[in-house]
């Protein structure tokens, strides 16, 4: 087996470590239930606020973070900014129902990080996480 094939084989068996961040516990639990069914994914932590997200990211160093935009103590954008200040290569997927919000229209969030939850099925969510976890992903 060539070195390249071996690397690809190893990469296929690695588990993607995910941190979910949303102030709605029921939504977090639903996301966890969907992601835990994926053989190549493991939810390593949950946070209910932006501040918890930052602390959890520091402690857990997930491969992918799923971040809500609207939270009471600190917005998802503020949490993303704080995380990326410390960890510039952090992979963060924004899951929001607010695609028409001024935040998204002003492109404060890179378009390739957005997922609109009402249109995003459980298979789409898992595929999005796999794409963001890949070191070879293409940015839009």
Q: pLDDT value at position 70? A: 87
C-alpha span between 9 and 22 (Å, rounded):
34
**Distances from the Cα of 47 to the Cα of 34, 37, 44, angstroms:** 17, 20, 11
In this predicted model, what pLDDT tens digit does every residue of 76-129 receive, in sequence order? Answer: 989 999 999 999 999 999 887 665 555 444 444 444 444 444 444 555 555 544
Interval 45-58 mean pLDDT:
97
Please name every residue paired with 64 in a beta bridge, in sequence order, or none if there are none: 18
**Domains of the chain (ranges plus CATH)?**
3-133 (3.40.50.2300)
Angle 70-76-80 (CA atoms, 0-180°, nearest 5)?
A: 170
Mean of pLDDT over the chain: 75
In this predicted model, what pLDDT tens digit does every residue of 60-81 receive, in sequence order? Answer: 999 999 999 889 899 998 999 9
* pLDDT above 90 as % of the chain: 50
pTM score of the predicted model: 0.67
53 neighbors 67 (Cβ within 8 angstroms) = yes
């Amino acid at each position: 087996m060539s070195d390249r094939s071996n690397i690809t084989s190893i990469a296929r068996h690695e588990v993607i470590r995910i941190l979910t961040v949303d102030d709605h516990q029921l939504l977090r639990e639903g996301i966890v239930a969907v992601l835990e069914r994926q053989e190549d994914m493991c939810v390593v932590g949950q946070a209910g606020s932006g501040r918890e997200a930052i602390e959890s990211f520091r402690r857990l160093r997930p491969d992918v973070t799923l971040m809500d935009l609207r939270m009471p103590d600190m917005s998802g954008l503020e949490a993303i900014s704080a995380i990326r200040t410390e960890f510039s290569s952090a992979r963060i997927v924004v899951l929001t129902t607010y695609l028409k919000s001024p935040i998204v229209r002003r492109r404060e969030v890179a378009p390739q990080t957005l997922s609109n939850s009402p249109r995003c099925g459980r298979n789409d969510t898992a595929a999005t996480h796999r794409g963001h976890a890949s070191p070879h992903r293409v940015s839009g």
